[in-house]
Amino acid sequence: MIIREVTQKDASPLVVLHKQLDKETKYMLFEPNEREVDENQQLKVITSFLESDNSNIFVAEYNDRIVGHLTVIGGHAKRIKHRAYIVIGISNDFTGKGIGTDLFKAMEKWRLATNITRVELTVMTHNDNGIKLYKKMGFEVEGVKKNSVIIDDRFVDEYYMAKIY
Protein backbone atom coordinates (compact mmCIF):
# COMPACT_ATOMS: atom_id res chain seq x y z
CA MET A 1 0.00 0.00 0.00
CA ILE A 2 1.32 3.42 -0.96
CA ILE A 3 0.08 6.54 0.83
CA ARG A 4 0.95 9.71 -1.06
CA GLU A 5 -0.17 13.19 -1.99
CA VAL A 6 -2.46 13.48 -4.97
CA THR A 7 -1.18 14.32 -8.46
CA GLN A 8 -3.02 15.61 -11.49
CA LYS A 9 -2.85 12.09 -12.98
CA ASP A 10 -5.21 10.97 -10.21
CA ALA A 11 -8.23 12.92 -11.49
CA SER A 12 -9.89 10.02 -13.30
CA PRO A 13 -9.11 7.37 -10.64
CA LEU A 14 -10.49 9.68 -7.94
CA VAL A 15 -13.76 10.13 -9.84
CA VAL A 16 -14.02 6.34 -10.06
CA LEU A 17 -13.29 5.95 -6.33
CA HIS A 18 -15.82 8.60 -5.30
CA LYS A 19 -18.56 6.99 -7.38
CA GLN A 20 -17.65 3.57 -5.99
CA LEU A 21 -17.79 4.86 -2.42
CA ASP A 22 -21.18 6.46 -3.07
CA LYS A 23 -22.49 3.01 -4.05
CA GLU A 24 -20.71 1.02 -1.33
CA THR A 25 -21.57 2.99 1.77
CA LYS A 26 -24.27 5.21 3.18
CA TYR A 27 -21.70 7.08 5.26
CA MET A 28 -20.70 9.39 2.39
CA LEU A 29 -22.66 12.52 1.49
CA PHE A 30 -23.84 11.56 -1.98
CA GLU A 31 -26.36 8.93 -3.02
CA PRO A 32 -25.32 6.50 -5.78
CA ASN A 33 -25.24 8.28 -9.16
CA GLU A 34 -25.89 11.68 -7.54
CA ARG A 35 -22.29 12.94 -7.75
CA GLU A 36 -21.81 14.97 -10.93
CA VAL A 37 -18.05 15.56 -10.81
CA ASP A 38 -16.29 14.48 -13.98
CA GLU A 39 -12.58 14.09 -14.69
CA ASN A 40 -12.12 17.71 -15.81
CA GLN A 41 -13.84 19.08 -12.70
CA GLN A 42 -11.80 16.76 -10.48
CA LEU A 43 -8.62 17.92 -12.21
CA LYS A 44 -9.54 21.55 -11.41
CA VAL A 45 -10.06 20.62 -7.74
CA ILE A 46 -6.73 18.79 -7.60
CA THR A 47 -4.93 21.69 -9.27
CA SER A 48 -6.41 24.23 -6.87
CA PHE A 49 -5.45 22.04 -3.90
CA LEU A 50 -1.89 21.63 -5.19
CA GLU A 51 -1.63 25.43 -5.43
CA SER A 52 -3.04 25.92 -1.92
CA ASP A 53 -0.97 26.15 1.23
CA ASN A 54 -3.69 24.67 3.46
CA SER A 55 -5.58 22.12 1.35
CA ASN A 56 -4.47 18.75 0.05
CA ILE A 57 -5.63 15.28 -0.92
CA PHE A 58 -3.89 12.11 0.21
CA VAL A 59 -4.53 8.86 -1.60
CA ALA A 60 -4.04 5.21 -0.75
CA GLU A 61 -2.83 3.30 -3.80
CA TYR A 62 -2.77 -0.48 -4.16
CA ASN A 63 -1.58 -2.14 -7.38
CA ASP A 64 -1.93 1.14 -9.32
CA ARG A 65 -5.51 1.59 -8.09
CA ILE A 66 -6.65 4.34 -5.71
CA VAL A 67 -8.58 2.63 -2.93
CA GLY A 68 -8.89 5.46 -0.43
CA HIS A 69 -8.50 9.20 0.07
CA LEU A 70 -8.29 11.80 2.79
CA THR A 71 -9.17 15.27 1.56
CA VAL A 72 -8.14 18.34 3.57
CA ILE A 73 -10.11 21.49 2.77
CA GLY A 74 -8.44 24.51 4.32
CA GLY A 75 -10.25 27.69 5.24
CA HIS A 76 -10.02 30.55 2.73
CA ALA A 77 -10.91 33.60 4.81
CA LYS A 78 -8.19 35.05 7.02
CA ARG A 79 -10.15 34.25 10.18
CA ILE A 80 -10.37 30.54 9.39
CA LYS A 81 -7.12 29.84 7.53
CA HIS A 82 -5.92 27.96 10.62
CA ARG A 83 -8.59 25.30 10.30
CA ALA A 84 -9.35 22.57 7.80
CA TYR A 85 -12.27 20.25 7.16
CA ILE A 86 -11.52 16.60 6.47
CA VAL A 87 -13.32 14.03 4.34
CA ILE A 88 -12.11 10.44 4.23
CA GLY A 89 -13.29 7.45 2.25
CA ILE A 90 -11.87 3.96 1.85
CA SER A 91 -13.15 1.23 -0.44
CA ASN A 92 -14.98 -1.54 1.46
CA ASP A 93 -12.45 -4.16 0.32
CA PHE A 94 -9.70 -2.21 2.10
CA THR A 95 -11.33 -1.11 5.35
CA GLY A 96 -9.98 -2.42 8.64
CA LYS A 97 -6.42 -2.70 7.31
CA GLY A 98 -4.90 0.45 8.85
CA ILE A 99 -5.28 2.58 5.73
CA GLY A 100 -7.32 5.24 7.52
CA THR A 101 -4.64 5.54 10.19
CA ASP A 102 -1.94 5.80 7.53
CA LEU A 103 -3.86 8.49 5.65
CA PHE A 104 -4.25 10.52 8.85
CA LYS A 105 -0.54 10.14 9.64
CA ALA A 106 0.36 11.44 6.16
CA MET A 107 -1.98 14.39 6.66
CA GLU A 108 -0.50 15.16 10.07
CA LYS A 109 3.05 15.08 8.74
CA TRP A 110 2.06 17.47 5.92
CA ARG A 111 0.15 19.69 8.37
CA LEU A 112 3.37 20.50 10.23
CA ALA A 113 4.45 22.70 7.30
CA THR A 114 1.14 24.61 7.30
CA ASN A 115 -0.55 27.06 9.66
CA ILE A 116 -3.36 24.58 10.33
CA THR A 117 -3.95 24.19 14.06
CA ARG A 118 -7.47 22.74 13.96
CA VAL A 119 -8.88 19.92 11.86
CA GLU A 120 -12.54 19.06 11.94
CA LEU A 121 -15.02 16.62 10.44
CA THR A 122 -18.52 15.28 10.77
CA VAL A 123 -19.45 11.64 11.18
CA MET A 124 -22.82 9.94 11.38
CA THR A 125 -23.47 8.91 14.97
CA HIS A 126 -23.99 5.25 13.98
CA ASN A 127 -20.65 5.01 12.08
CA ASP A 128 -18.89 3.12 14.87
CA ASN A 129 -15.76 2.28 12.85
CA GLY A 130 -15.32 5.87 11.72
CA ILE A 131 -15.78 7.23 15.24
CA LYS A 132 -13.29 4.68 16.59
CA LEU A 133 -10.69 5.76 14.00
CA TYR A 134 -11.19 9.47 14.65
CA LYS A 135 -10.92 9.06 18.43
CA LYS A 136 -7.79 6.94 17.94
CA MET A 137 -6.32 9.81 15.90
CA GLY A 138 -7.06 12.31 18.68
CA PHE A 139 -10.37 13.80 17.60
CA GLU A 140 -12.98 14.72 20.20
CA VAL A 141 -16.73 15.09 19.84
CA GLU A 142 -17.64 18.76 20.12
CA GLY A 143 -21.34 18.46 19.51
CA VAL A 144 -24.24 16.75 17.78
CA LYS A 145 -25.84 17.97 14.57
CA LYS A 146 -29.43 16.80 14.97
CA ASN A 147 -31.27 15.61 11.85
CA SER A 148 -28.16 16.49 9.85
CA VAL A 149 -28.68 14.13 6.91
CA ILE A 150 -31.50 12.03 5.50
CA ILE A 151 -30.75 8.40 4.68
CA ASP A 152 -33.46 6.01 3.51
CA ASP A 153 -36.07 8.67 4.29
CA ARG A 154 -34.93 8.89 7.93
CA PHE A 155 -33.14 11.70 9.72
CA VAL A 156 -29.65 10.83 10.98
CA ASP A 157 -27.61 12.78 13.51
CA GLU A 158 -23.93 13.54 13.06
CA TYR A 159 -21.17 14.21 15.53
CA TYR A 160 -19.07 17.28 14.97
CA MET A 161 -15.50 16.25 15.83
CA ALA A 162 -12.24 18.19 15.92
CA LYS A 163 -8.59 17.92 16.82
CA ILE A 164 -6.62 20.91 18.07
CA TYR A 165 -2.82 21.02 17.66
Over residues 18-44, the pLDDT tens digits come to 999 988 888 787 777 777 888 999 999
Domains of the chain: 2-117+127-137 (3.40.630.30)
So what's the pLDDT on residue 32? 76
* Cβ atoms 125, 159 nearer than 8 A: yes
Angstrom CA distances, 88 to 79, 121, 123, stand at: 25, 9, 10
Q: Which tens digits make up the pLDDT trace of 115-160?
A: 999 999 999 999 999 999 999 999 999 999 999 999 999 999 999 9
Q: Which tens digits make up the pLDDT trace of 92-114?
A: 999 999 999 999 999 999 999 99
Please state the rounded mean pLDDT for residues 80-86. 96
* Cβ atoms 158, 123 nearer than 8 A: yes
End-to-end CA gap in the chain: 28
